[in-house]
Every structure is written in structure tokens, then in C-alpha cells.
Amino acid sequence: MEAQSFAPILILLAICVAFLYLHFSGGSGLTRLYLAGVLVVVAVIILLPSFSIKLPDWWEGLLGGTKIQLGLDLQGGTHLLMEVKLDDAVKTQLRRRAEDIKRELKENKLDFTNISLDASGDLIVKLKSDDERTPFLDLMSKSFPDLAVSSASGIAGASYSLTFRPRDLQQIKSNAMDQALETIRNRIDQLGVRETTVQKEGDSDILVQLPGIQDPERAKELIGKTAVLEFKLVDSTHSVQDAIQNGPPPGDEVLYGPVDRGGRTPYLVEKPVLVTGDVVTDATVRPGGRLEGPYVAVDLDARGAQIFDTITAENVGRQLAIVLDGTVYSAPVIKERIPGGHVQITGRFSISEAHDLAIVLRSGALPAPVEIEEERTVGPSLGRDSIRQGELSFVIGAAAVLIFMAVYYSGAGILADFGLSLNILLLICVMAAMQATLTLPGIAGIVLTLGMSVDANVLVNERMREELRAGKTPREAVKLGYQRAWSAIRDSNISTFVAGLILFQFGTGPVKGFAVTLCVGVLTGLFSCIVVTRAWYDYLIAMRRLNAISV
Amino acid sequence: MSLQLIRPDINLDFVGKRHFFVILSTVINIAAVLMLIFVGLNYGVDFVGGSVVQVQFEKPTSANAIRDSLKPLGLGEITVQDFGASAGHTYLLRFEKVANIGSLGTKLGNRLAKTYGPQGAKVVRVESVGAKVGGDLRRRGFLAVVFATVFMGVFIAFQFRHTSWSFGAGAVIALVHDVLVVSLALVISQFQFDLTTLAALLTVIGYSVHDTVIVSDRIREDAAKRRREPIESIMNRAINETLSRTILTSGTAIVVLIALLAFGGPILRPSAFTLLIGFITGTYSSIYIAGPVVLFWEGHHRVGSLSSRAA
């Protein structure tokens, strides 16, 4: 998204403030009308980019070329709300800690019978003998200060239950959230869609908006891939079939190959993860031979390369499974030590599959799975229909109101129409200057604003009629009409404005757009229908031509 | 003098007929509550979760044909709504439960392409909401209505405190009345109650208060001027004095809403309908709900008590 430019909104505000100053300090009607003329010209100029009229570059530089953004419901696109499974991120971290603890225990010559995650997500450590309690607790407080240790209840022997301390838990979650946000943003950037939104919503949700996207399915695929890349050794000392039937031997697990390539090939692999995807620095698609198709070349960072070097050196002749999101893509035999951290992932990919795989590997793994909670996709043709229908109802509604006012109040009606037209112009212009998003309910909001800003004029005009009937001169009638109508106009507009604010606070997406329109409409309505229209009356009074105006 | 719809010296007896209308409104409100409980709003996916998919067909088809075509997918119960011929063979399919949000659009598109040919059916809109989000939106929507109502009541009570604190109560009861009447209309019409409809309902609240303020403002003004008159007659006068404005403003707003209803397309129809009913009842309630509440509150005091407090 381009940087927001405040120039247009400041210029508009400046003119309005100047106008209000003249209004309250009793500046001449004519001066105010000239200023109103300036306001109209400025408003039209600010609106030009919104109607895709190209302005000179120096001009856009000055005003920032702000324009109305069309909401997804009008221009088509996809809105996704995704939940990041933060609890899973916590479990992953705890599992890593488990590996670290095992190592530390071995180094300190402490024996344990079992270290594993229980159902509620706590890490349970069972020590071999009671004598180890004190050294274990010392070790924990020294090496793992972020873990809270408590005696596990209901388990015999020296057992401890480990969880993250609340502050560290919060830290892990917020790190995971940031990483997920960053990763998803990276992936979406590679889609080549303009003006995308990726932002945090609440504690664990991410909102993604992809305007005008042609292939939402691919986007969802790309965003949703956890892309956890792991390398594990294949256990060839045991039979896979045996493991499937009788459960894998301790320390092993059964993983499968991709589903769509001639059945799922089972692999028996050793549980410990040798290298994870967070050491990937780059991933690119390379054309392969005719049989295996394109492959993805992955570069590891120094640490990853070092580990990979060691593993391959120690395990020549064994099979190394390349596991992505729990699926074994290939399990090549390590023919020789591989230094330098260059790894190839083959798997009979199509070009586009290989391409997307490279994107997700490059952009990093998601710290936890994401789940789509809300999807709103609108096709571009429907968006165009909606714009057409919105415009049609707007034009018909506006025409009806303008004609009615002119017929009913004749002269004063034409002045009111001037105010109403200015109101619409300003409303759209302010939305453009704010780079606000116009949604379908937003168009309904504009139509509604039109119907309601009429009220200010009706109130004033009805009051003027009353005063004229009471025998007041036109000059007094104008003054009193405005004066007496004001309290009603003030209170009623505050109530509508606040309804709009509440709507904005509680609404989402299109409803927010509607709320913005409603609130801006109240302000521009008050300004154009009360302040600016009054300038006409003052001008006519000064020219002694007020009698020419009938109410 | 230009056109006049309402004669300036009009003096209809609104306040005298209030008992009839209060009873009528009470009956309608009770009916609304019963209908809300026993029939219920047709909640959209925004509030209960599920999916709506808008599909445009090349050739005319029928709800049953669509259902038959989708049966193999095993997506549970499907509600099919015809968007009318003007929308070009467009149907809205609603699924109560969706296991895998995000993959529905493609799945449907592929399945329909098998029945209707590759270009025969086009998925133009998908809206899927998970149950959790739905519950969240429902809670926020409910809170928005409550907050709006309470705030309006406090605001009006404060602005009119010099005349009578009861204007706030009048406005709130008028609001509850309007929300109930609109809900009744929505239950009967079975228009979908989604986020957009909720936005319309909140706008109705804004408008209803707006209209109540105008009438109350005149009562406030007249009460300060005519200290000896009974409150009934002040109220009736104020209603008559603002009648012309009431008819004009509500009239133009209603014309605009009819334009929206007729030309705004099927997506805006539920909210245009909500606004239309809401504006009518909002106008009515300013006269026959807010007023009588103030009268009831003030008992049958001479206006001396009312205006002695008037600014």
C-alpha cells in the first residue's frame, strides 16, 4: 500500500475552517460564496484520480494521488480471516525443550525413564530414582529458567510436570504471531497482487485481503501451507509393514508419501528431527530430467549446512527422508557427505507445484498451522453488477430528492439542492482524501445520507415559513429560522453520528465502510446544508434580493 | 408561497388518540417477541456460521436440479434461493455446516461444471464463516445494539433534562419498540439477518432517535414558552408544528429507500427493507411511543411542574 498522503485532507480542512471562521465572524456572504466556489474546485480536483483521470506527476506528488478504494465486494477479491493455532506453536516449542532437556540430562548423568507431552500439553519428565530430584531441580532452574516445574500428581515415582511460565508463554505466542504474519506477508507478496492487506486481528487471528485476485484457490493453498521442512533418517533395520500392523518400534514413526501419486508409500523413520526448515535461506525451481520433472533446490544457512554436513558424513548409505508438513516427498540414499548446504527436493512435481513449494520454503515456515475461519470471495463480474446497481439507485434517489425539494420550496429548495449536491461532492471527496474504502453498504450509506441531510434543510425552511407567517421580515425569518432549527439539528445529528461510531466499533469489513460513510456524511451534511447554504441567504439579504427567494 | 402538503394551522388530535395506538403497539411488540422466540430470525451465515455461495447459471435451472447436482458432495442440507430473473439465473446456495472453509468454492465449481458444462455455472460469491467467528460476530452485534440504545437514552435524557428527564426513557422505549417492529417484519419476510442487515438496524436506531429528538425539541421549546398549558396540549401542538417537517423528511427518505429497494440489487435488498420499515416505525414511534412515555412519567401534572424546570 502506498504511503498515506495527508495533503488533500489538510487542504479540505483548511478551507472548511476558514469558511467556519467567516461564518461565525460575520464575513460577507459574497466572500463566503467565493470560498465555497474554491472548495468545489478543490473537491473536484481531489476526486479526479478516483475517476481514473490521469493527472500530471508533479500534481500527484503534491496531493499523493489519493483516491477512493473500492471494497472487495465492489471490485471482487478475497477476504480471509485465519486463526493461528498458537497452542500448537507452544507445543512445538515445548517439544524442542524436551530434546534439549534430554541432552542436558545425559550430559549431567541423570537417568530418566520418560520425557513426553501429556494430553493437556504439559511436558512430563519421569526420573529413574528419587535421589535425582535435587540435581534435576538445580539443573532446571539453571538451564531452563523459562519453565515452571511442579510435581506431577497421580504419577508414581519422581515425576515432574513442566510448563512455560506465563510471561514466557505470552512471549512465545506473540513471537509465533509475528512470525506467522511475516511469513504470510512474504508469501502473498509473491502472488503479485496489488494493494493487499495482511494484518493482525485480535490475539490469534490474521486478516488477509486480496483485491481483484483471479485465483483465490491458489492463494489459499499458498497461505495455508505450514511448510515445516524436516529431514529425518529412515530406519531400515525394521520392517515397515510390521510397524504399520504392530505399531512402530520405540523412537520411530510411520510417515507417508504424497497422496496423489499412485497410493501412499509408507516410510518408517526415526523420530528425532535432524534439520528443520528454519535454516533455509533460499529455494528455487530447477528444471530436472524428463523422468523426475523439475526439482526444488534448497540452500541452507551456515548452521544448517554444518548440521547437514555432519549428518551426511555419519550416515553414508542410509536413506534420508525429506519431510514437508508431515509428508515424505523423497527419501534418497545418502551417497556421500554433502558439504555446503545445497539440498535438492525431488518429488515428480509439476512446474506450478514446484514453484509454489519454492515460494513457501523461501518465505519460511509457519510457526503453527493456520485455519481459515472466515472467507468472503466476490467475483469481479458480481462486483461490477453491484457498482452498477448502487449507482443506479443513487442517481434515482438523488434525482427524486433534488426535484422534490426544488418543486416544494421553489427558491429556497434550489438553495437546498445546492447544499445537498455540495454535500454529496464533499462526502465522496473526503472519502477519497481519507483513502476510505467504498463498499456496497457504503453506497447505500451515501444514498441514505442524502435522504437524511435533507432534514436539516427541511427543518430550517419550515421554520422560516413559520416566521414569515408570523409576520417577520424575510431577513428576520432567515435569521430566526436558522437559530431555532439549530438545537434540533444539533441533537439529532449527534445521535446519528454516535450510531455511526458504534457501528464502526463493532462492525467488520463492509459494515465499517457503511459506518464511515454515515459519520462523514453527518459532518459534510451539517457543513454544506447549514453553513454553506446560509452564505447564499446572507448574500441575497445583502443584495436586497431576498424577496426574490420564496420559501 | 410555494407548495404545501400540510396546512400551517393544522391541529390534529394526536395525543388524545394515544391510548389506542399504545395498545396497538403493545400488541405488535408482544407479537414480535413471540415470533422472535417461536419462529426466529433467518440468521445469515455471519451469525451462525456456514456458507453462502452465489452461483450464476448460463441457462434457466431449478432449485431441485441444483440440489441433485450437488448431492454427491455430501455437504448436508442445502437451502437454495432464487435471486430472480432480473439477476440472470442467479441462485444463492446456503450450507449450514462447512467442514473445510476455504475449499468450498472450488469443490462446488467443479461439481457444477460436471452437470452444467464448463461455462454453465459460475461461482460469483462465496461467504463462509466458521462457528467461532459467527458466535463472536453475534455477540458484537448484540452489544452494538445495546450500546447504541443505552447511549441514545442517556444522551437524550441529558439534553432534555431541563424539561423532563423522562425524554430519555421515552426515546429508549421508542427504540426498543422500533427494533421489535423491524424484527417482526424480518421474521415475517424471512429476509436474511446478516451483518449488513444489522448495520441497517443500527441506522434505524440512529434515525429513530433523530426523529424523536426533533419532536422533543419542539416540546422543549414550547414548554419553555407556554408555562400555563397542560403538557398534553403542548405535546400535541409540538407534534402538529413539526408534522410538515416529519412528513417531508420521512417522505423523501422513504422515496430514496424505495429506490434502493427497487434498484439496489438483491444483496442490498434485506437492508433496504429493514431501513424502510425502520424509518416508518421510527417516525411513528416519535409521536406515539416517546410522547406517551413522557406523559405517563409526568403523570397528569399541570405543566407548571414541567415548565418550572424548563430552561
CA atoms within 13 A on the CB side of A320: 26
Smallest Cβ–Cβ distance between B132 and the set A73, A216, A373 belongs to: A373
Query: So what's the pLDDT on residue A299?
Result: 87
Q: In chain A, list all ranges with CATH 1.20.1640.10.
A: 7-71+379-548
Q: Enumerate the residues of chain A whose CB falls inside 8 A of the CB of residue B143.
A: 506
**Annotation: CATH topology of B50-129:** Alpha-Beta Plaits (3.30.70)
Query: So what's the pLDDT on residue B27?
Result: 94
A132 band by pLDDT with thresholds 50, 70 and 90: confident
Q: Are A502 and B144 in contact (CB < 8 Å)? A: yes
Smallest Cβ–Cβ distance between A451 and the set B130, B159, B256 belongs to: B256
Smallest Cβ–Cβ distance between A407 and the set B3, B8, B260 belongs to: B3
Best residue of B2, B159, B178, B279 to probe chain A, by most A CBs closer than 10 Å: B2
| CA separation for the pair A473, A492 (Å, rounded) | 28
Lowest mean pLDDT: which of A380-394, A525-539, B90-104, B204-218?
B90-104
| CA separation for the pair A520, A503 (Å, rounded) | 13
Query: So what's the pLDDT on residue A92?
Result: 82
Query: So what's the pLDDT on residue A2?
Result: 44
Best residue of B1, B108, B214, B241 to probe chain A, by most A CBs closer than 10 Å: B214
Q: B228: which 3 cell numbers?
A: 400555563
Question: Amino acid identity of B76?
Answer: G
Smallest Cβ–Cβ distance between B217 and the set A385, A411, A491 belongs to: A491
The model's pLDDT over A308-362, given as tens digits with 9 standing for 90+, comes to 888 888 888 888 888 887 888 878 888 888 888 888 887 777 888 788 888 878 8
Looking at mean pLDDT, say which of A307-316, A334-343, B25-34, B57-66 comes out highest.
Answer: B25-34
Query: So what's the pLDDT on residue B308?
Result: 46
Q: What is the mean pLDDT of residues B86-97?
A: 79
Show the beta-strand stretches assigned E in B172-254. 192-193
Query: So what's the pLDDT on residue A60?
Result: 62
Query: So what's the pLDDT on residue A215?
Result: 75
Smallest Cβ–Cβ distance between A455 and the set B130, B244, B249 belongs to: B249
Query: So what's the pLDDT on residue B307?
Result: 47
Distance to chain A for B129, nearest Cα, Å: 4
Q: What is the mean pLDDT of residues A113-117?
A: 81
Q: Are A382 and B54 in contact (CB < 8 Å)? A: yes
B31 band by pLDDT with thresholds 50, 70 and 90: very high
The model's pLDDT over B190-203, given as tens digits with 9 standing for 90+, comes to 898 988 888 888 88
Tell me which CATH homologous superfamily contains domain B15-44+133-308.
Multidrug efflux transporter AcrB transmembrane domain (1.20.1640.10)
pLDDT tops 50 at residue B311: no
Distances (CA, A) of A129 to A104, A153, A156, A157: 17, 17, 11, 7
Q: Are B195 and A511 in contact (CB < 8 Å)? A: yes
Domain A78-84+170-376 has CATH 3.40.50.300: no
Q: Are A550 and B1 in contact (CB < 8 Å)? A: yes
Distance to chain B for A393, nearest Cα, Å: 5
Q: In chain A, list all ranges with CATH 3.30.70.
A: 87-167
Query: So what's the pLDDT on residue A153?
Result: 63
Searching chain A, which residue's CA lies closest to the CA of residue B101? A372
Helix (H, G, I), strand (E, B) or coil at B26: helix
Searching chain B, which residue's CA lies closest to the CA of residue A449? B253
Residues 6 or more apart whose Cβ sits within 8 Å of residue B170: B156, B212, B216, B289, B290, B291, B292, B293, B294, B297
| CA separation for the pair A428, A423 (Å, rounded) | 9
CB atoms within 10 A of CB A442: 27
Q: Which residue has the cell 444522551?
A: B155
Smallest Cβ–Cβ distance between A502 and the set B148, B159, B264 belongs to: B148
**SS (HEC) of A244-285:** HHHCCCCCEEEEECCCCCCCCCEEEEECCCCEEHHHEEEEEE
Task: Name the strand (E) or helix (H) holding A125.
Answer: strand A123-127
Searching chain A, which residue's CA lies closest to the CA of residue B56? A382
| CA separation for the pair B174, B161 (Å, rounded) | 18
Q: What angle do CA A406, A410, A411 make, to 5 degrees?
A: 110
Q: A112: which 3 cell numbers?
A: 530418566
Searching chain B, which residue's CA lies closest to the CA of residue A378? B125
Query: So what's the pLDDT on residue B310?
Result: 44
The model's pLDDT over A171-191, given as tens digits with 9 standing for 90+, comes to 889 988 998 898 888 888 887
Which of A244 and B28 is assigned the larger pLDDT?
B28
Query: So what's the pLDDT on residue B23?
Result: 92
Q: What is the mean pLDDT of residues A130-158?
A: 79
Q: Are B265 and A390 in contact (CB < 8 Å)? A: yes
Which of B85 and A482 is assigned the larger pLDDT?
A482
Best residue of B53, B147, B152, B195 to probe chain A, by most A CBs closer than 10 Å: B195
Q: What is the mean pLDDT of residues B59-83?
A: 83
The model's pLDDT over A48-91, given as tens digits with 9 standing for 90+, comes to 777 766 666 666 666 666 777 788 888 888 889 999 999 888 88
Query: So what's the pLDDT on residue A509?
Result: 67
| CA separation for the pair B113, B73 (Å, rounded) | 13
Query: So what's the pLDDT on residue B63?
Result: 84
Distance to chain B for A47, nearest Cα, Å: 24
Distances (CA, A) of A532 to A15, A133, A411, A536: 12, 83, 16, 7
Give the domain ranges of chain B: 15-44+133-308, 50-129
Distances (CA, A) of A414 to A7, B93, B168: 33, 48, 36
Query: So what's the pLDDT on residue B74?
Result: 77
**Annotation: CATH topology of A87-167:** Alpha-Beta Plaits (3.30.70)
Q: In chain A, list all ranges with CATH 3.30.1360.200.
A: 78-84+170-376
Smallest Cβ–Cβ distance between B102 and the set A220, A454, A506 belongs to: A220
Q: Which residues of B274-306 are buried (b: 16+ CB within 10 A; e: fewer)?
A: bbbbbbbbbbbbbbbbbbbbbbeebeeeebeeb
Residues 6 or more apart whose Cβ sits within 8 Å of residue A286: A294, A295, A296, A297, A344
Question: Amino acid identity of B283?
Answer: T
- Closest Cα to residue B265, out of A387, A400, A514? A387
Which of B184 and A364 is assigned the larger pLDDT?
B184
Searching chain A, which residue's CA lies closest to the CA of residue B125? A378
The model's pLDDT over B143-175, given as tens digits with 9 standing for 90+, comes to 888 888 888 889 888 888 888 888 889 999 999
Strand partners, A127: A112
**Annotation: CATH topology of A7-71+379-548:** Multidrug efflux transporter AcrB transmembrane fold (1.20.1640)
Helix B269-285 with B195-225: angle, nearest 10 deg: 20
Q: How many residues does chain A have?
A: 551
Helix (H, G, I), strand (E, B) or coil at A121: coil
Q: Are B268 and A440 in contact (CB < 8 Å)? A: yes
Percentage of chain A exceeding pLDDT 90 = 5
Q: Are B209 and A496 in contact (CB < 8 Å)? A: yes
Looking at mean pLDDT, say which of A8-12, A126-130, B27-31, B84-88 comes out highest.
Answer: B27-31
Query: So what's the pLDDT on residue B305?
Result: 47
Q: Enumerate the residues of chain A whose CB falls inside 8 A of the CB of residue B127.
A: 375-377
Distance to chain B for A263, nearest Cα, Å: 22
Query: So what's the pLDDT on residue B280?
Result: 94
Question: Amino acid identity of A44?
Answer: V
Smallest Cβ–Cβ distance between B263 and the set A393, A465, A551 belongs to: A393
Q: Enumerate the residues of chain B whose CB falls inside 8 A of the CB of residue A496.
A: 206-207, 209-210
How large is the C-alpha radius of gyration of chain A?
34
DSSP state letters, A296-363: EEEEE-HHHHHHHHHHHHHTTTSBEEEEETTEEEE--B--S---TTEEEE-S---HHHHHHHHHHHHT
Contact A513, A454 (CB under 8 A): no
Q: Enumerate the residues of chain B whose CB falls inside 8 A of the CB of residue A385.
A: 265
Q: Enumerate the residues of chain A whose CB falls inside 8 A of the CB of residue B265.
A: 385-386, 389-390
Query: So what's the pLDDT on residue A186?
Result: 85
The model's pLDDT over A87-107, given as tens digits with 9 standing for 90+, comes to 888 888 888 788 788 888 888
Query: So what's the pLDDT on residue A369?
Result: 85
Q: Enumerate the residues of chain A whose CB falls inside 8 A of the CB of residue B272.
A: 444
pLDDT tops 60 at residue A4: no
